[in-house]
Structure 1
Amino acid sequence: MRTKLMNMLQERKDEITQIRRHLHEHPELSFHEAETAKFIQDFYKGKDVEVATEVGNGHAVVVTIKGGKPGKPGKTIALRADFDALPIEEQTDLPFKSKNPGVMHACGHDGHTAYLLVLADCLIQLKENIPGTIKIVHQHAEETPPGGAKSVVESGILDDVDQIFGIHVFPFGESGQVYYHSGYAMAGRTYFKLKIQGVGGHGSSPHMANDAIVAGAYFVTAIQTVVSRRLNPFDTGVITIGSFDGKGSFNVIKDAVELEGDVRYMNTENRDKIDAEIHRIVSGIEAMFGVSVELTYTNDYPPLYNDPAVTEQVVASLQKGLGEYLTDISMYDMLSGSEDFAYYLQKIPGVFFYIGAKPKNTPHAYFNHHPKFDIDEDALLVAAKSVADVVLDYFKLNG
């Protein structure tokens, strides 16, 4: 079974590349991926599977592959790939660069979709040998909160899933290298926005006004003490002010300013601690400066937690690929980026791991979300075979 599946994937390597390039040329933003979803749906037409469309709050497609063994339904696992792009103007010289101005697959979701489509098709052809069910989750809107994963979970379509797996291509390793992290692996993310309302006035008479910029500047400084003075020094937390909208005339005291920011944390305990501290500082600023503050505080994606037991299982499965399609399997540090796959892992034990995809002959690889981001397309076959080994091992077919 393993030899057959690996040979099938190898023979379809060029097809994976072609699909990736087609999707790369036609990227679509989160929640607007109608044509991408149609492409995915068309791929499964005529195949012996159940296809659910428009799952959750967008264009997600969930494909159910029911294995053989009548009367023995067995376990159910899920494999997920995201398919949305980013609002970035592509700056590569690729012959298949984006044809949609201002939109680019700068995070590899085109590759995720390509490998999973072909892997799914191979599994469909071999499904009579699979003692269980595999759900293929083609997910929309990973990049934009509230994201697609949460709504897919809430739809109930994965309520019967026992374990779930996902991968992400990253250019911090060569093709053939796979990375994992057990436990908390990626940061949670919170968005916040403040509107500070003071009293406007003439720059020459500050005593007759109440300067919102001064209050905002104090907030920017004060919140940096949350990480440096409220979190354990061995914990990870980041608070960033990304926007401070206080533009006006040089001799006018602003009556209101708006600030937007981003919070990252590696566990729910620190999420709650930072939340409480920021709210406390906001209340203090209102009292100290006599201003009113309207605070929007939204927890977007939770920290991503890889179940340690399942992670150990995945690493053992991947060992079979060493010397074949894999050159190295390594534990990687926690990542401060966020990923809405975390919502699946809140409900279902599973693992999200990383596929090295640094372009060949490139002294400097551009990281995800860069306008010159690209991958080594050989990594997509590595992804397909890696996930295939995980699936085969789960169903005890890896012989």
Structure 2
Amino acid sequence: MKAVLETVEKEVISWRRHFHENPELSYQEHNTSEYIYNLLKTFPNLEVTRPTKTSVLAVLKGSKQSEGKEHTIAFRADIDALPIQEEADVEFKSKNPGVMHACGHDAHAAMLLGAARVLSEKKAEVAGEIKFIFQHAEEVLPGGAQELVKQGVMKGVDYAFALHVSPYERTGTICIREGVFCAAADDFEIKITGRGGHASTPELTIDPLIIGAEITTNIQQIVSRKISALRAPVVSVTTFHAGGALNVIPEYAELGGTIRSLDPDSRVKAREHLEKIVKGITEAHGATYEINWYLGYPAVVNKKEAVDVSRAVVEEIRGKENAINVEEPMFGTEDFSAYSEAVPASMQFIGVHSEELGEAYPLHHPQFKIDENALKYGVEYFVGIAEKLCGQ
């Protein structure tokens, strides 16, 4: 495998740099998907289609006969970028003002292209079927994954796999977790209507700002007192707007934020408790309220049978010392959950940080960077999965 991977390493880096220089936002990945489509068409033995306007699906149907069950597996890479002005000091900086690959999707797409390039020449060694999914719109609801699942791309699939870059883990490692991998996310907007008036006579008003402050404080009881600490969600108020003059108590106050939860029961209960708190406080003060919910992606849940495959492959190709067990789930979100709800799935982190990069900037940061030496290990992971499940 090593010799084969070395032949595509430079190509994978080149592809990643092309994507990084030419980022496109969710549902606008027209040039990106066209580039991927045309490239995949040059690889042998692949059936390449466009399930949606800005996504690509390539299918490799193996010709090897197997005495046992022939698996159909799916590999997924997301391809959209973020509305961020890049500040990273790299030669291949974004050419699209205000748009940047700050979440590593350029690396995800390049690694999966490398795997497709290698595996497309192994048709005779593959028993079963491999689907390479280049997915649009991971960053924006309702998400491209859900759309592709509805299109039927997971039909007949036995397992789904994906990698996500981690700027905090060193290059060469792959971080493995069974169970909940990413949290569910539900955003909220609350409008409180009181009665405005002059700041010198607050007793004649119903102050929505005071009510909003009380709500902000009290909803933290959802985490500390209403749900088990073992399942506690994260509740954050991130916006609060009220008033425009220093001597006027406003009529309205608006606040908003997000709830991140790890299981369906806590997800529902957190929303219910928040509504009760808002209702109780506003009624106590004689105000009224409106809540708008924006229900996000469910939690990504890695199933044991798929994770066992990931762990075995990583330990085989990278050694046990580079197969890092992740103790806690991430409270970020990922629409890979649509695949993990459909079939046994395994999404894992791949380390992309080296000391030469300096500070490890987080995902979605304008100075986010990766160590491109990590890309070959991602290709190696996908090829290893394919060989384990479809090489028998």
- Aligned residue identity for 1:175: T
- Conservation of the 8 A alpha-carbon contact between 1:360 and 1:376: no
- Aligned residue identity for 2:306: V
Choose which of 354, 358, 361 in structure 2 pairs with 1:359: 354
Deviations 1:268-311 (A, max 9, x none): 12111101101111221332122221111122011111001221
Q: Which moved more, 1:222-231 or 1:196-205?
A: 196-205
TM-score normalised according to structure 1 size: 0.93
Distance 1:42 1:151 in 2: 22
Aligned partner of 2:295 in structure 1 is 299
Distance 1:328 1:358 in 2: 14
- Aligned residue identity for 1:53: R
Aligned partner of 2:46 in structure 1 is 49
SS at match of 1:356: strand
Choose which of 13, 19, 26 in structure 2 pairs with 1:17: 13
Deviations 1:154-211 (A, max 9, x none): 2222121111000011122211111111111221111111111222222223333322
Distance 1:315 1:94, change over 3 A: same
Say whether residues 1:328 and 2:325 are aligned partners. no
SS at match of 2:80: coil
Aligned partner of 2:36 in structure 1 is 40
Say whether residues 1:105 and 2:101 are aligned partners. yes
Choose which of 189, 206, 209 in structure 2 pairs with 1:210: 206
Choose which of 280, 284, 288 in structure 1 pairs with 2:284: 288
Task: Kindly report which structure 2 residues correspond to 1:1-399, keeping only aligned pairs within 5 A, or say none.
Answer: 3=1, 6-47=2-43, 48-55=45-52, 59-69=54-64, 74-322=70-318, 328-333=322-327, 334-397=329-392
Q: Which moved more, 1:72-81 or 1:23-32?
A: 72-81
- Aligned residue identity for 1:393: K
* CA apart distance, 1:360: 3.8
Q: Which runs of 5+ in 1 are unaligned?
A: none
Distance 1:385 1:40 in 2: 20
Distance 1:327 1:21, change over 3 A: farther
SS at match of 2:334: coil
Distance 1:359 1:373 in 2: 13
Distance 1:52 1:198 in 2: 55
- Conservation of the 8 A alpha-carbon contact between 1:359 and 1:374: no
- Aligned residue identity for 2:62: G
- Conservation of the 8 A alpha-carbon contact between 1:78 and 1:161: yes
SS at match of 1:171: strand
Aligned length: 389
TM-score normalised according to structure 2 size: 0.94
Distance 1:37 1:247, change over 3 A: farther
Distance 2:95 2:272 in 1: 45
Deviations 1:38-60 (A, max 9, x none): 111111224432222152xx622
Q: Which runs of 5+ in 2 are unaligned?
A: none
SS at match of 2:356: coil
Distance 1:240 1:375, change over 3 A: same
Deviations 1:70-91 (A, max 9, x none): 8999321100000111111111
Distance 1:176 1:46 in 2: 29
Deviations 1:305-340 (A, max 9, x none): 1001221222112221135xx851110132121111
- Conservation of the 8 A alpha-carbon contact between 1:176 and 1:327: no
SS at match of 2:310: helix
* CA apart distance, 1:247: 3.7
- Aligned residue identity for 2:323: I
Distance 1:351 1:62 in 2: 19
Distance 2:38 2:374 in 1: 25
* CA apart distance, 1:393: 0.5
Deviations 1:5-59 (A, max 9, x none): x42222110010001011101111111111111111111224432222152xx62
Q: Which moved more, 1:35-44 or 1:279-288?
A: 279-288
Distance 1:395 1:38 in 2: 28
Let me know the Cα RMSD of the aligned residues.
1.9
